[in-house]
């Protein structure tokens, strides 16, 4: 499947409050995110999940949100300021070649990769970078939209994750998504 990145202006549609009916961030994230955690969120867009992540990690935690589009990050930062949570946010502009997370080596507790792995030009590189950033036993929740990513492509992503030390723990149910919970072994 061809590489494709969600255009920045589509981020406004992804913030639609009706989306919470089928993809409620708190409900999806509650089993995995705890206060004090360091969370990595590649491709946060304008922060549909990020704002809830910032609430969930509490004062002692942080969310590292990495995006390739400056306009997405700018809107995310404005939303975090408005919510009074910006001090927990580490927003980073990625490049086509790297997420720019080398300094996170072995410090991330949880990764939310929601509708983003298919946007990377090299999914294997994504999983290599993610594997370096996480602690042993860290979890990665991967979800890909069924409208964009076919089952065979999602299975290929899971194989790439496995090759980088992320073992499948369970298939999760998220509306309109292929989804799985992985653990770094």
- The 10s digit of each residue's pLDDT in 17-74 is 665 666 799 999 999 999 999 999 999 988 999 999 999 999 999 999 999 999 989 9
pLDDT value, residue 104: 98
pLDDT value, residue 20: 63
| Distances, alpha carbon 169 to alpha carbons 90, 122, 172, in Å | 28, 24, 9
Burial of 89 (0-12, 13-18, 19+ CB in 10 A): buried
pLDDT value, residue 148: 82
In the predicted model, what is the mean pLDDT of residues 144-164? Answer: 96
Q: Pairing mode, if any, of strands 38-42 and 108-114? A: parallel
Confirm if 175 and 23 have CB atoms less than 8 A apart.
yes
Considering only 8-17, 43-52, 142-151, which range has the smallest mean pLDDT?
8-17
pTM: 0.90
CATH ID of 36-184, from 3.30.1950.10, 3.10.180.10, 3.40.50.150, 3.30.300.30:
3.40.50.150
DSSP-derived secondary structure letter, 19: G
Per-residue pLDDT band for 1 (boundaries 50, 70, 90) equals very low
Per-residue pLDDT band for 4 (boundaries 50, 70, 90) equals low
Domain ranges of the chain: 36-184
What would the DSSP string read from start to end of 69-126? -HHHHHHHHHHHHHTT-GGGEEEEE--SS--S-GGGTT-EEEEEEES-GGGSS-HHHH
Q: CA-to-CA distance for 29 and 12, rounded, in angstroms?
A: 21
Per-residue pLDDT band for 181 (boundaries 50, 70, 90) equals very high
In this structure, what are the phi and psi dihedrals at residue 103, rounded to the nearest 5 degrees?
Answer: -70, -10
């Amino acid at each position: 499947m061809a590489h494709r990145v969600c255009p920045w202006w589509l981020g406004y549609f992804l913030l639609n409050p009706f989306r919470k009916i089928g993809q409620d961030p708190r409900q999806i994230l509650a089993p995995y995110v705890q206060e004090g955690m360091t969370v990595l969120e590649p491709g946060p867009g304008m922060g549909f999940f990020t704002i809830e992540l910032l609430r969930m990690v509490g004062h002692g935690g942080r969310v590292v949100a990495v995006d390739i589009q400056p306009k997405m990050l700018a809107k995310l930062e404005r939303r975090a300021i408005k919510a009074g949570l910006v001090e927990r946010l580490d927003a980073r502009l990625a490049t086509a070649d790297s997420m720019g997370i080398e300094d996170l080596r072995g410090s991330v507790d949880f990764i939310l990769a929601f509708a983003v792995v298919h946007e990377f030009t090299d999914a294997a590189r994504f999983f290599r970078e993610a594997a370096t950033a996480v602690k042993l036993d860290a979890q990665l929740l991967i979800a890909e939209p069924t409208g964009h990513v076919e089952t065979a492509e999602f299975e290929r992503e899971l194989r790439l994750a496995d090759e980088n030390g992320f073992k499948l723990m369970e298939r999760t149910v998220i509306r309109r998504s292929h989804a799985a919970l992985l653990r770094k072994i």
